[in-house]
Amino acid sequence: MRRLSRRLFLAQGAAGASALLLATCAGQPPTPTPAPVKPAAPAPAPTATPAAAPAAKPPATGEVTITLWSWFNKPFTALMPKWNAKNPRVKVNLVDMSGEIHQKVLTALTAGSGAPDITGSQDYNLPILADTGGLADISRHIAPYRDKIVPYKLNNGSYKGKVYSVPWDGSPSGLYHRRDVFEQYKIDPEKIETYDDYVAVGKKLKDASGGKVKLFNIAKEAWSPLVNLTWQQGGGIYAADSGKVIIDDDRAVRTLTLIKRLWDEGVVHQNIGGEATNATYKDATTAAPPGAIWLANGIVGNAPETSGKWGVNPLPAFEKGGTRTTAFGGSQLAVPGQGKLVDEAFSFLEFTQLSQEGSTIMWTDGNLFPVLKDAVNWSILNEPVAFYGGQKALKLYAELNSQIPPYTYGKGFLEASRIVGSAVTFALDGKKSPKEALADAAKEIRQKQGLD
């Protein structure tokens, strides 16, 4: 029975594993797999003239060394013996960049020199890097894998019709539940099919516990529940196909209306903060948080005594038969191409991310969930998991990973997400209706980003 690692994942610019879970996130930029307590927003793109895109280079001959910058090199280190045995000509120099990576890569791409052969990038930063013109177009390289990669992750590595990166990790989301609490109050998690069902469960938990047990925590100015659950419906801040601002459409209004309903019904904790939220995992007063696969690591790190008491099911749908999952967080491995070793760089990523052998090591040594559709059939994802009380939860996540609708961040996401967070606050405070709050937010985003 597989046990989840206690590893704390490092993310750009910060520390801590629970503040950006769907259940507890504040209005800050998203992070990849479990992240530190409060990630700092990356610096905006420089205004200098973008560098020209790298031209196609002839393949190198003889022994070469490629350099990879990332904030989490542990799984790469673990697979190096297998890589070196298969590819003695291509050596890999791993450089730990921690929180410095985005700004350093951005500066190097804009200048046209100084970038590594491969760089880690959070999904939301990829459009910013691609917009410099300094990333290599790897559309030709990725072509054989287009039908093998889960669609949303392939989309997150693309910009203006070209592919610039290989997905690093998947972040399928489901509805967690405390088995002991649900048993105590005679709630069947299999019967939570829609968000109406979910709200009803929240009311039952609140009433039966004297107001102590809630579904999860919502913070004012938290853009993420709104954006993530709008992605669930195929929406978002920007349209995945055109890049138009759509955060004021019916899908977003439906989502913010749900969030306000959860708030007004008193079935969620309200603004209790990261440490207090961690305490609710320990004392079982958070009973059904929506969250990505990596929420389990945050719980293990903060409430290890609850391992085995959790289960997970698909998210509720907005209407019966609708999509029952979404994504939260994630990262990419992009190829700048300045070092003339694009083919060699891609061959490394082809092994680490796009093969079962490499992806298995990424999971076992890094808890980085595979991005390949056929992972659902891998034996390592079909084992009972102790944290989930013996449930074969990884198979469920692999199934959900292929069902997530494609969405886009857009290069203006960081600014837009803060505007959306303010809209959430207006709605929760009752100062604007969900429709009015989102109409105003969309108008502000269009005006500030020249998207009228």
CA–CA separation, 416 and 127 (whole Å): 14
Residue 337 pLDDT level (bands cut at 50, 70, 90): confident
**pLDDT surpassing 70 at residue 18:** no
- Among 36-50, 255-269, 332-346, the range scoring the smallest mean pLDDT is 36-50
Beta strand 158-159 pairing with 162-163: antiparallel
**pLDDT surpassing 60 at residue 422:** yes
% of the chain residues with pLDDT over 90: 83
CA–CA separation, 266 and 303 (whole Å): 24
304: DSSP letter: G
Both tokens assigned to 116: 């590594």
Total Cβ atoms within 10 A of residue 188: 9
Residue 62 pLDDT level (bands cut at 50, 70, 90): confident
In angstroms, what is the C-alpha Rg of the chain? Answer: 21
**pLDDT surpassing 80 at residue 421:** yes
State the average pLDDT over residues 425-451. 97
**pLDDT surpassing 80 at residue 378:** yes
- Among 67-76, 85-94, 98-107, the range scoring the smallest mean pLDDT is 98-107
Residue type, 190: E
Total Cβ atoms within 10 A of residue 177: 21
Are 410 and 416 in contact by the 8 Å Cβ rule? The answer is: yes
What domains are there in the chain, each with its CATH number? 64-171+329-379 (3.40.190.10), 173-326+412-448 (3.40.190.10)
**pLDDT surpassing 70 at residue 259:** yes
**pLDDT surpassing 50 at residue 24:** no
Residue 31 pLDDT level (bands cut at 50, 70, 90): very low
Handedness of CA 371, 373, 374, 378 (dihedral sign): positive
Residue 60 has what pLDDT? 56
Question: DSSP string covering 5-45, please?
Answer: --PPPP-TT---SSTTSTTT--SS---SSS--SSPPPPPPP
- Among 16-20, 308-312, 372-376, the range scoring the smallest mean pLDDT is 16-20
The pTM score is: 0.87
CA–CA separation, 86 and 333 (whole Å): 21
**pLDDT surpassing 80 at residue 57:** no
Both tokens assigned to 146: 């287009």
Q: What's the half-sphere exposure (Cβ side, CA atoms, 13 Å) at 298?
A: 32
State the average pLDDT over residues 373-401. 98
- Among 40-49, 323-332, 376-385, the range scoring the smallest mean pLDDT is 40-49
Residue 2 pLDDT level (bands cut at 50, 70, 90): very low
Widest Cα–Cα separation across the chain: 71
CA-nearest of 391, 215, 398, 405 to 293 is: 398
Total Cβ atoms within 10 A of residue 93: 11
What φ, ψ does residue 372 adopt, rounded to 5°? -95, 140
Residue tagged 């929506």 (tokens): 290
Beta strand 158-159 pairing with 118-122: unpaired
**pLDDT surpassing 80 at residue 54:** no
Are 280 and 286 in contact by the 8 Å Cβ rule? The answer is: yes
Residue 39 pLDDT level (bands cut at 50, 70, 90): very low
**pLDDT surpassing 60 at residue 299:** yes
Residue tagged 């989102």 (tokens): 438
Question: DSSP string covering 146-204, please?
Answer: TTTB-HHHHHHTEETTEE-EEEEEB-BEEEEEEHHHHHHTT--GGG--BHHHHHHHHHH
State the average pLDDT over residues 394-406. 98
Residue type, 306: T
State the average pLDDT over residues 140-161. 97
60: DSSP letter: P
Name the helix (H) or strand (E) containing 320: none
State the average pLDDT over residues 166-173. 97
State the average pLDDT over residues 168-172. 96
